[in-house]
Structure 1
Amino acid sequence: MATDGWLADTRVSYDTVAAAYADQVRDSLAGKPFLNSALTLFADLVRAAGDGPVADVGCGPGFVTAYLRNLGVDTFGVDLSPGMIEVARREHPGLRFAVGSMTELPLADASVAGLLAFWSLIHIPDELIPTVFAHFRRVLRPGGPMLVGFHVGDGSRLKTEGYGGHPMKVHVHRRRPERVADWLRESGFTVEATLTLSPYAELPGGMVFARR
């Protein structure tokens, strides 16, 4: 996990499952009022901070990017997987998508008014989270809001199959909200709110709102 091998494995895995993944998650915000409300609040925070472009980092097939755009936010997507970006561009031809890694985020300093990482940190090793958050802070404008979503829990597992039975090789990491919040503070963010979704479910979710 200390080498770049995990990054190549993650890229190949999501290239392999891109179409099947898109089919499975396309309507995943339907009937999820807390997720919808969190995204709406995030959009409101972006506007209150002065508005401007918003990066959906780890956008996958772009359904959340499109959701934010429908809320009136100038959102574009970045994803490690060229296969995912191809699907996103096909399904949302009016939106902007680019290939890029959050470990070396290809965005200019202070170039975005807000940043979303919606369950896209789950494959990043713990030791690289500070590097990722440093990039997030670098590209955010002063005062810009950020929303991070993730699996809540402890430990990691190796996922070898998924989304239609296709082969994968990705480590899936669960984190405690307080640990994510600490990483953010250590990276220079102000943590404004945390939320745990379905804490007693098999796979609970967490969200942290922060600001540069």
Structure 2
Amino acid sequence: MTETAVRDAYTERAPEYISLFGSVDKANEQDQGFIAHWAKSLLGQVVDVGCGPGHWTAFLTSLGADAEGVDIVPAFVQAAKARFPGTLFRVASFTDLGIHDGQIGGILAWYSLIHLRTEDLRSALGEFGRCLAPGGTLLMGFFEGTDGEAFPHAVTTAYLWSTDGMAARLARAGFEVLDVHTRTDPGGRPHAAMIARRKA
């Protein structure tokens, strides 16, 4: 999927998506705990890439993090600014975050890379590595499965990744994996979450 196609698909369904998923209270408690634990380790600014309705950005802010949310969908950014006026949000591409080299301490990419094909995923991870300071960390969530296998996501085509496959891609982008969590919720697709640190 191209970034334009993904943006258009989410723009069309933005109100529905915000209603269904725009609250941390609707997220799995394990995910809340995992993200909160990671947030406590951050040094410096954290950017929630693909922030969508902005709930995770606001969650990070509530924990004391210097957080900013970015998304490719202007409708999401507009709604996030209205819903969470005390948190910063802006429109930005996954492959051009508008951040200086090594400027930030953390990136949250919670299910925001699932629509990227292999070459686009490589570009996004490269941009994340460029923006993170040495020792900065990336926390990402994604659907686990056969590497690069497409499936009909409710909004638009998405892709599965194995934890080993994602770890290999992170290594090529200059990261080392620190932690991996997996689970399968009843009626849901297998879930994976990974924390990776940018090498010095």
Taking structure 1 as the reference length, the TM-score comes to 0.87
Matched with 2:129 is: 137
SS at match of 1:141: strand
Secondary structure class of the residue paired with 1:103: coil
Cα deviation code 1:13-38 (max 9, x no counterpart): 11111121111012354462210111
Deviation string, structure 1 residues 143-202 (Cα, Å, up to 9, x no partner) = 11110110112321244xx5xxxxx5x221111111111100111111111110227854
Kindly indicate whether residue 192 of structure 2 is the aligned counterpart of residue 198 of structure 1: no
- Within a 5 Å distance, the mapping from 1:2-17 to structure 2 comes to 6-17=2-13
| Paired residue type of 1:188 | G
- Alignment of 1:146 with 2:146, yes or no, is no
- The alignment status of 1:34 with 2:30, answered yes or no, reads yes
| Pair 1:186 & 2:172 matched | yes
Secondary structure in structure 1 of the residue aligned to 2:139? strand
C-alpha spacing 1:14/1:126, structure 2 compared with 1 (3 Å) = same
Aligned length: 196
Tell me, yes or no, if structure 1 residue 174 matches structure 2 residue 170: no
- Aligned CA distance change for structure 1 residues 153 and 29 (closer, same or farther; 3 Å): farther
Tell me which residue corresponds to 2:150. Answer: 156
Matched, 1:93 2:85: yes
Provide structure 2 residue ranges, at least 5 long, that are not aligned to the other structure. Answer: none
Match status 1:124 vs 2:110: no
1:118–1:147 Cα contact (<8 Å) kept = yes
Shift in alpha-carbon separation, 1:79–1:66, aligned structure 2, 3 A:
same
CA distance in 1, matches of 2:40, 2:73: 29
Counterpart code for 1:9: A
Partner residue, 2:48: 56
- Which amino acid in the other structure matches residue 206 of structure 1? A
Does residue 1:18 correspond to 2:14, yes or no? yes
The one-letter amino acid paired with 1:22 is: I
**Structure 2 counterpart of 1:208:** 194
- In the alignment, structure 1 residue 75 sits paired with structure 2 residue 75: no
Which amino acid letter does the alignment assign opposite residue 27 of structure 1?
A: S
Tell me which amino acid in the other structure corresponds to 1:105.
Answer: L
- 2:106 pairs, out of 114, 122, 140, with 114
TM-score under structure 2 normalisation? 0.91
AA matched with 1:156: A
> Larger RCO: Structure 1 or Structure 2 (Cα < 8 Å, ≥ 6 residues apart)?
1
Q: What SS does the aligned partner of 1:124 have?
A: coil
Distance in 2 (CA, whole Å) between partners of 1:82 and 1:138 is 24
Letter in 1 for 2:191: G
Q: Sequence identity, in percent?
A: 32
CA contact (8 A) 2:24 2:56 kept: no
List alignment gaps of at least 5 residues for structure 1: 163-167
User: What one-letter code is carried by the residue in structure 1 that aligns with 2:196?
Assistant: A
